[in-house]
Amino acid sequence: MKITLESKVTELSGCGKKRSELLSLMGIENVGQLLRHFPRGYQNRGDVKALSDESVGETGAFILTVSGSAQTARISGGRTLTKCRAFDGDKSCTLVFFNRNYIKDVLVTGCTYRFWGKLIRGKTGYELSPSTIEPVTDNVKLREFIPLYPLRAGLTQKFISSLILSALDQIEPSEIRDALPESVREALDICTEYEAYRYIHDPSSTDMIEKGRFRFIAEELFSFACSVTMANEGRRNLIGKRIDPERSKFYDFTAALPFKLTAAQAKVISEIRKDMTSDSPMARLVSGDVGSGKTVCAMAAAFIAVRNGYQAAMMAPTEILALQHYKDFNEILGKLGIKCGYLSGSVTAAKRREILYGLESGEIKFVVGTHALISQGVKYNNLGLVITDEQHRFGVMQRAVLSQKAVSPHVLVMSATPIPRTLALILCGDLDISVIDELPPGRQPVDTLVIGEKHRKRMYGFIEKEILAGRQVYIVCPSVEAQEEEEEVPEEEFLRFDFDKNPERMPKLKSAIDYEKRLREDVFPQFKTAFLHGRMSGKEKDAVMSEFAAGRIDILVSTTVIEVGVNVPNATLMIVENAERFGMSQLHQLRGRVGRGSEKSYCILVSDSKTETAMKRLEIMKTVSDGYKIAKYDLELRGPGDFISLNSQNARQHGALNFRMAGLCTDTQMLEKAFREAVKLIKSDPMLEKEEHAELKKAVGTVTGLTAATLS
C-alpha cells in the first residue's frame, strides 16, 4: 500500500489497534502527525565512556565485556538483585539490576554489550545500573544518537522510534510536499522537509540534528512572518483618517494631566500626531520600559482622534488592565467632556446593550475593553483609532480583526515589555516604532534580592515590617491550584538541544490558593490577605483589585494576572515564588509593579533551583534594571517564546501562536532573515493563492491558529 502523510498509522507494519489508540491519545493518527512527533532530546551513545575515576557520576554509554555469569539474590521488600561482572580495557565493574531476573538469560559470558547508565563507586568498586543493553557485533552498526520521544504509558521509545523509521522508509520523499518553496529554502539555507525528518529521527551527528531542527524552526518563523505580512500588506496604500492638528487643541490635554510629560513622552506623542495628520493610516508601536508612561501616549492619541470627530477603541489583554485603563482614561478624558465606555465579557447584559448602543450611535467616543471589543455584535459609528495594549499577548490577528471594525483606522500598539528591536520588527510586522527611553522623574530603583527556602522566615519578617510601615505586598506564584504530579522525567541524562524548555526536575510549585490560605491562617493572621488568579470572574478580580488599590488588603497573593500594567503605588514589596519558572522579561514586568510611588521598593525572587541557567538568569535580574537589556538576555537565553507568551491562557484561547520549535530559537539573525524572505514572497502572492503555496498557506494557518479562510 502506498504510504502518504495522510495514511493512518495502522497502515504501517508493526502498529496494531491497541497501540494506534495509545498514539491517538497523543494526537498521532496519521503518518504526518507521527513524523512531527519530535524527540525531546537524544542519548549520545556514540560517545563511549571508559570505566575510570573520571567517569564516576557520569551517565553515558559504556562498552563492556561480560566476564562472569549473572547471580540473582532476593533482597528486602520482595525485590531481586541481579549482579554480573564486566570489564573494558583493564578496569572492571559490577553491573547491577533490580527486579530484572531475565538479565541472566540476556547477558552471555564473553560477549560484549553497549550499556547506558550512570557509573557510581560502590562498596566493592565501580557499579553500573544500565537502563539499556545492546549487543555489540561485527555485522550490525549500533546507532549513535538515540532519540527520546515524549511517551505515554503502554508505549516504548523503541516502538515509536522504529515506527517512525519504518514510516520514513515506506514513504516516497516526493509525497512530502514541502511548505517552504524552494526559493525560500535556498535563501534560508535549509534542507527539505523529508531530509529534516531523517535528520531529526535518525541522526548520526549533532550537526544533523541541528540542521533538521532548524528546518522546522524556519518553517514556523517563515509562516508566522507571512501571516504578519499578510495582515499588514496593503495598509500603507490606504487613505487614512486625516486629522487636523488645529482642531485638536492639544494644550487642553496637557493641561488636564496631573503631571508634566517627560521629553520622551512628548517626542513619542509628536510622532503619533505626525502619523495621524499624514495621508496614510498610522501603524505605530510604542515600546518603553515598565513604568515609562506608555498609557498617556495612548490617551493623547485617543484625545486627538476624538477632537477630530472620530471614535477611539482600546483593547487590553486582561479585565484587570482594561478596567484600570478605563478609570485612568475616564478621569482625564472625562474631564475634557469625552464620554468613555467599558466593555468586557463580564459586564451585565443591560450594560452591554447600553454600551453597544452608545458605540453605534457615536455617543460614546472612547471605549476600552477586552477582546469583547472584537466580538461580532460590536459596531462603531465612526471608529478612527484602534489601540491595543500589551500587544504581543494578542497576536497579529486580533489587531487585524479590531481594525476591520472601521475603514483603515489609525493603529497604535503598546508593547507590554520592552522588546528587542529585531523581535519587535518580527512580532509587529512593518509597524513604525517609537521608544520611550526615559522614566518619569523621581523613580527609585527597586532593590532585587534572590533567596532560597532557608531564608523564608526572614522574608516573612520583612513582609511584616513593610506592612507595619503602612505598605502593601504582592506575592506571585506560578500556578493557581496545587500542582498536579509532574510528568515522569526519565532518569537518564541526555543531550537536550533545547527541545524541551524545562527538562530539569523543578522545585515544587507554589499555588496561589494554598499559599494565601496558609498565610492567612498560620503566618499572618493579623493582616488582611487575598488572592487573585485568572480563573476568577472579571467581577471578582475587579473587586479584589479595587480593595488592594484602596489599601484595604495588605498582601495580595496572585498568579501572573497582575503581571501587566497594574498600578498600585503604595505596594513596595514584590515577592516571586518559584522564580526559576519565569522568563526574565516576565520577572521584570512583575518587579515593575513596585517602585511606582515615592517609597523605597524591593523585589525578592525566591528559588531553590540549582541549574546553571536559572541561577544565571536570577543573577542578571539582581544586577540589571534596564528592561531592554533584560529583554536582550532573555531572547538570547530562552528565545522569543516568552515575548509571544505561549503560556498565557488568554493568549492561547484567542489565537496566539502555536510555535512548537521557533519559540526556542535564539538565533535572531535567522528571525530577521525569515522575515525578509516572507515579505518578498507575500509581495509576489499577497493572499497565497498560487498553487505552489498551498502547503505554505496551511502552515500559516497552523502557526497562527487560524484557518486559511479567516486569513483570506
Q: Which residues bind ligand ADP (CB under 6 A)?
A: 259-262, 265, 288, 290-296, 440, 565, 567, 596
Grid cell locating 677: 524572505
Q: Which of 40, 37, 64 is nearest to 127 (CA)?
A: 64
CB of 443 to ligand ADP, least distance (A): 8
Q: Are 429 and 233 in contact (CB under 8 A)?
A: no
What is the C-alpha separation between 435 and 443, in angstroms, rounded?
Answer: 19
What is the C-alpha separation between 92 and 86, in angstroms, rounded?
Answer: 6
Residue 232 or residue 295: which is nearer to ligand ADP going by CB? 295
Residue 265 or residue 572: which is nearer to ligand ADP going by CB? 265
Q: Which of 293, 223, 287 is nearest to 260 (CA)?
A: 293
Q: Are 643 and 417 in contact (CB under 8 A)?
A: yes
Instruction: List the single partner that 567 binds among Mg ion, ligand ADP, none, CB under 5 to 8 Å by kind.
Output: ligand ADP
Instruction: List the single partner that 261 binds among Mg ion, ligand ADP, none, CB under 5 to 8 Å by kind.
Output: ligand ADP
Q: Are 640 and 649 in contact (CB under 8 A)?
A: no
CB of 448 to Mg ion, least distance (A): 21
CB of 445 to Mg ion, least distance (A): 19
Q: Cα angle vertex 220, ends 181, 617, to 5°?
A: 145
Instruction: List the single partner that 288 binds among Mg ion, ligand ADP, none, CB under 5 to 8 Å by kind.
Output: ligand ADP
Instruction: List the single partner that 198 binds among Mg ion, ligand ADP, none, CB under 5 to 8 Å by kind.
Output: none
Q: Which of 474, 535, 473, 477 is nearest to 511 (CA)?
A: 477
CB of 518 to ligand ADP, least distance (A): 31
The pairing of beta strand 132-135 with beta strand 112-122:
antiparallel
Residue 254 or residue 658: which is nearer to ligand ADP going by CB? 254
Residue 201 or residue 294: which is nearer to ligand ADP going by CB? 294
CB of 368 to Mg ion, least distance (A): 12
Q: Which residue has the cell 528546518?
A: 215
Q: Of all residues in this chain, which one has the CB nearest to Mg ion in the complex?
A: 565
What is the C-alpha separation between 517 and 489, in angstroms, rounded?
Answer: 31
Q: Cα angle vertex 655, ends 634, 29, to 5°?
A: 100
Instruction: List the single partner that 265 binds among Mg ion, ligand ADP, none, CB under 5 to 8 Å by kind.
Output: ligand ADP
Instruction: List the single partner that 259 binds among Mg ion, ligand ADP, none, CB under 5 to 8 Å by kind.
Output: ligand ADP
Instruction: List the single partner that 287 binds among Mg ion, ligand ADP, none, CB under 5 to 8 Å by kind.
Output: none
CB of 630 to Mg ion, least distance (A): 17
Query: Of the ranges 44-52, 265-273, 562-570, 677-685, which one interacts with Mg ion (CB under 5 A)?
Result: 562-570
CB of 325 to ligand ADP, least distance (A): 9
Residue 209 or residue 261: which is nearer to ligand ADP going by CB? 261
Q: Which residue has the cell 490577605?
A: 529
Residue 258 or residue 525: which is nearer to ligand ADP going by CB? 258
What is the C-alpha separation between 696 and 707, in angstroms, rounded?
Answer: 12
Residue 455 or residue 629: which is nearer to ligand ADP going by CB? 629
* Max CA separation in the chain (angstroms): 96
Residue 423 or residue 674: which is nearer to ligand ADP going by CB? 423
CB of 265 to ligand ADP, least distance (A): 6
Residue 281 or residue 293: which is nearer to ligand ADP going by CB? 293
Instruction: List the single partner that 291 binds among ligand ADP, Mg ion, none, CB under 5 to 8 Å by kind.
Output: ligand ADP
Q: Ramachandran region of residue 322, left (φ > 0), alpha (ψ -120 to 50) or beta?
A: alpha
What is the C-alpha separation between 621 and 627, in angstroms, rounded?
Answer: 10
Number of residues that bind Mg ion (CB under 5 A): 1
Query: Of the ranges 154-162, 399-407, 563-571, 629-637, which one interacts with Mg ion (CB under 5 A)?
Result: 563-571
Backbone dihedral angles phi then psi of residue 484, each to the nearest 5 degrees: -75, 155
Q: How far is CA 414 from the centre of its chain?
A: 19
Q: Are 115 and 133 in contact (CB under 8 A)?
A: yes
Query: Of the ranges 425-433, 507-515, 560-568, 587-595, which one interacts with Mg ion (CB under 5 A)?
Result: 560-568
Strands across the sheet with 283-288, in order?
Answer: 340-343, 366-369, 311-315, 383-389, 410-414, 283-288, 432-436
Question: DSSP state, 251?
Answer: H
Residue 206 or residue 567: which is nearer to ligand ADP going by CB? 567
Instruction: List the single partner that 308 binds among Mg ion, ligand ADP, none, CB under 5 to 8 Å by kind.
Output: none
Grid cell locating 574: 514584590
Residue 280 or residue 567: which is nearer to ligand ADP going by CB? 567
CB of 563 to ligand ADP, least distance (A): 11
Among the listed residues 369, 418, 565, 595, the single contact to Mg ion using CB under 5 A: 565
Cα dihedral: 405, 406, 411, 415 (round 10): -10
What is the C-alpha separation between 28 and 35, in angstroms, rounded?
Answer: 9
CB of 654 to ligand ADP, least distance (A): 21
Chain residues binding Mg ion by CB under 5 A are 565
